[in-house]
């Protein structure tokens, strides 16, 4: 079965740029989606199909995907960006989630 | 605005069947662009996909749960449901329903989620 690997945690200074990676075998050939989940809340889609933003998601959120790594980039990080982030793909008729990354804004 | 709402018992005994329903409001479940799915999250852990259903009844399941899971749809009530049999403490989790966008064969992610419902498996 397909696996997605994310770092357990990422820290970023307030106002700086955070990058969260999602590794998978030839993930660049798949559509990657990213979700933000704050404590006690349902996940929210922040990036779909590698780099597209749903309406209402700030331009500070961007994505890329190539080779074996997809990346979620959060520019000018704010305290409100502190959350868990999950990547997700569709593979072999299965939804696959990464293990999640906790983003801490210092 | 489309909304999803999970409902069902918050406590289930070991070996029994967990049953949840997701009610779709503000839109029709009978659309060719969406799959409707269940995702769960054990306490302190990550997201686990359980399965998805199309309004026609076509289903996809997580292989690891497939032997215990049934997802069904009732278009007349704009609802879809989850049944998970022979539950154990490991099935204790927050259960979410969500809409997944699919255009032709392309996956666009899950754009609408329910608030989640906590299910505890305990005697």
Structural tokens at position A100? 């999640």
Higher pLDDT, residue A11 or B32:
A11
**Calpha distance B11→B18 (Å, rounded):** 9
Specify the pLDDT at position B103.
87
Specify the pLDDT at position B105.
79
Does the beta carbon of B74 lie under 8 angstroms from any beta carbon of chain A? Answer: no
- Which chain A residue is nearest to residue B111, measuring alpha carbons? A45
**Calpha distance A55→B50 (Å, rounded):** 27
Over 90: is that where the pLDDT of B106 sits? no
Q: Are A63 and A75 in contact (CB under 8 A)?
A: no
- Which chain B residue is nearest to residue A55, measuring alpha carbons? B111
Which burial class, exposed, middle or buried, applies to B105 when counting CB atoms under 10 A from its CB (0-12, 13-18, 19+)? exposed
pLDDT tens-digit readout, A20-72:
999 999 999 999 999 999 999 999 999 999 999 999 999 999 999 999 999 99
Residue B53 Cα, gap to closest chain A Cα (Å): 12
How large is the average pLDDT for residues B50-79?
97
Residue A90 Cα, gap to closest chain B Cα (Å): 7
Instruction: Find chain B residues with C-beta within 8 A of A35's C-beta.
Output: 47, 109-110
The Cβ of residue B13 has, within 10 Å, a number of other Cβ atoms equal to 12
Tally of CA atoms within 13 A in the half-sphere of B79 that contains its CB: 14
**Calpha distance A99→B31 (Å, rounded):** 31
Residue B51 Cα, gap to closest chain A Cα (Å): 8
Q: Are B17 and B87 in contact (CB under 8 A)?
A: yes
Instruction: Find chain B residues with C-beta within 8 A of A84's C-beta.
Output: 46
Over 90: is that where the pLDDT of B46 sits? yes
Q: Are A74 and A61 in contact (CB under 8 A)?
A: yes
Asked if B49 and A96 come within 8 Å (Cβ–Cβ), the reply is yes
Helix, strand or coil for residue B84? strand
Asked if A42 and B62 come within 8 Å (Cβ–Cβ), the reply is no
The Cβ of residue B45 has, within 10 Å, a number of other Cβ atoms equal to 11
Does the beta carbon of B33 lie under 8 angstroms from any beta carbon of chain A? Answer: no
The Cβ of residue B77 has, within 10 Å, a number of other Cβ atoms equal to 12
Asked if B110 and A93 come within 8 Å (Cβ–Cβ), the reply is no
**Calpha distance A47→A63 (Å, rounded):** 7
Helix, strand or coil for residue B24? strand
Asked if A94 and B49 come within 8 Å (Cβ–Cβ), the reply is yes
Asked if A31 and B106 come within 8 Å (Cβ–Cβ), the reply is yes
Does the beta carbon of A54 lie under 8 angstroms from any beta carbon of chain B? Answer: yes
Strand (E) positions, A26-100?
33-37, 44-47, 61-66, 69-74, 83-91, 94-97
């Amino acid at each position: 079965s397909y696996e997605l690997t994310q770092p357990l945690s990422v820290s970023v200074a307030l106002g700086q740029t955070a990058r969260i990676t999602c590794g998978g075998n030839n993930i660049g050939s798949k559509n990657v989606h990213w979700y933000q989940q704050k404590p006690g809340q349902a996940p929210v889609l922040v990036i779909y199909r590698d780099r597209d933003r749903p309406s209402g998601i700030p331009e500070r959120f961007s994505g890329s995907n190539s080779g074996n790594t997809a990346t979620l980039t959060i520019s000018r990080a704010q305290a409100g960006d502190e959350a868990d982030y999950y990547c997700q793909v569709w593979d072999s008729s299965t939804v696959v989630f990464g293990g999640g990354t906790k983003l801490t804004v210092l | 605005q489309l909304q999803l709402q999970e409902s069902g018992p918050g406590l289930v005994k070991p070996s029994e069947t967990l049953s949840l329903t997701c009610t779709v409001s503000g839109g029709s479940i009978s659309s060719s662009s969406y799959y409707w799915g269940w995702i769960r999250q054990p306490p302190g852990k990550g997201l686990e996909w359980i399965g998805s259903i199309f309004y026609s009844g076509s289903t996809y399941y997580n292989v690891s749960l497939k032997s215990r899971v049934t997802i069904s749809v009732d278009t007349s009530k704009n609802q879809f449901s989850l049944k998970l049999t022979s539950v154990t403490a490991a099935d204790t989790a927050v259960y979410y329903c969500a809409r997944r966008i699919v255009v032709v064969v392309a996956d666009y992610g899950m754009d609408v989620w329910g608030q989640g419902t906590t299910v505890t498996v305990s005697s």
